[in-house]
Each structure stands twice: as structure tokens, then as C-alpha cells.
Chain A
């Protein structure tokens, strides 16, 4: 499984756009990139998943360059409630026959008023 590297922590202010970058140099051809959000004393919650280029949903965007060795989670106009830990995972995505997950330490985002 590809190992991921993320910043340990980030600070931001309400209303700003936050970009969290994840490095995954050993990503395999079949691997997808998935991001989760976790609040204290709760299980992680799926945010977004992508394979290449750009993916956007109602809460975030995911940018993946052509070499796929990194990815950037973009959170537009963060609020205090976005304070959480964000995990980047790389592994088998839809229909690939197995998904053993490695959650690293994640990035602790702290949004200030």
C-alpha cells in the first residue's frame, strides 16, 4: 500500500480557503485517493474520492496532478465547525477487489474566528 505524508497541523481563519496537500509517491496504477474528516470522539467521515484531475462535491474539491504523486484537498470558506483531523488515504477504490486501509496521523486543522 502506498504511504502518505501530510502536514501534522494547519491553522486558518473563518472564511478562508484551506488547501491540505498529501504526498503519495508510491501510488499504484489502480489506487484511488480518498479523504476523510474526523471530529473528536467520532468515527471518520468520508469527504471525497478521486483518481485523477479534479473532483468536486458539495463540501470540497480534490486536485490530483497528472503524475498522481500528490493530491490537494481544498475546503472553500472554512468555518469553525471545520476544525477536525483530515486523513488522506491511498488504495483500492471502487471495484478493485479489496481495500486495506492505512490511516496515518492525518492533518489537524484548527479554524480560528
Chain B
């Protein structure tokens, strides 16, 4: 069966510090991968999606970046965090452009 992992589960970082969130998927190959951010009480905002290794599409201009170094690994990064980067970050995978399956999420607080 397929499994999606995200870490860390929670993170508190100061403004201006770097960020690296990792997402890995098991049990599937060539998935589409997604990064979302959710502010408190709000819907999900699509940040990046990837249809293959090294292929990244950005949906929202910001100080975040994403990379896909391996087929089932998706990384979200920032060189310098802003207060507005706080939120709940979710990774999701999708096979054959069907429904998406979400990871447990990372709650990021920028102080």
C-alpha cells in the first residue's frame, strides 16, 4: 500500500532563518506531487506541483522554492523565512491525475 511521510511534524523557526521540509512517498512510482499551505481557518493554497523528477511548477510567487531530487521525494525550502510563512504545510501525491492523498502535515511557526 502507499504511504506518504512528512517531517518534521512541528517546527518553530525565527524570521530570516532557512527552511527545509521533506516529503516522501512509498509504494508508488511516478506520482504527481504537491505542496500546499493552509493558514489557520482557511482553505489550502497550492504552492508547487511536480509531475516528474526536476520538474517543478510554482503557483504563487514567494520566497519559497521546491525541488524533486528523486521520484518519490519532494522538498520545500526557503533561504529566509518571513512571519507570513507560518502555517500548516501539506504534501500530497496523486496517481494518474486522480484523487490526491495527503501527508500528516508540518505546522510551521515563524517567530
A7 within 8 A of B: no
Counted as pairs of residues, one from A and one from B, with CB atoms less than 8 Å apart, the total is 59
B86 to chain A, nearest CB (A): 14
Given known contacts A100-B49, A101-B34, A44 and B96 CB-to-CB distance under 8 angstroms? no
Check A87–B97 contact: CB distance below 8 A: no
Given known contacts A100-B49, A101-B34, A46 and B101 CB-to-CB distance under 8 angstroms? yes
A34 within 8 A of B: yes
Check B97–A41 contact: CB distance below 8 A: no
Residues 76-94 (chain A) with a chain B CB within 8 angstroms: 87, 92-94
Contacts of A46 in B (CB 8 A): 99-101
Q: In the complex, A42 Cα to B59 Cα: how many Å?
A: 22
Contacts of B90 in A (CB 8 A): 43-44
Q: B105's contact among A36, A41, A99, by CB below 8 Å, is which?
A: A41
Q: In the complex, A93 Cα to B99 Cα: how many Å?
A: 8
Q: B46's contact among A44, A93, A95, A101, by CB below 8 Å, is which?
A: A101
| A-side interface size class | 20 to 34
- Interface residues as binary, B28-65 with A (CB distance below 8 Å gives 1, 0 otherwise): 00001010100000111110010100000001000000
- Which residue numbers of B lie inside 8 Å of A, CB to CB? 32, 34, 36, 42-46, 49, 51, 59, 88, 90, 92, 94, 96-105, 107
- A99-B32, A101-B34, A102-B46 provided; 17 other pairs, C-beta below 8 A? A34-B99, A41-B105, A43-B92, A43-B103, A43-B105, A44-B100, A44-B102, A46-B99, A92-B97, A93-B97, A94-B97, A99-B100, A100-B46, A100-B59, A101-B44, A103-B44, A105-B43
- Nearest 7 A-B pairs (CB), nearest first? A43-B102, A103-B44, A46-B99, A103-B43, A105-B43, A99-B97, A43-B90
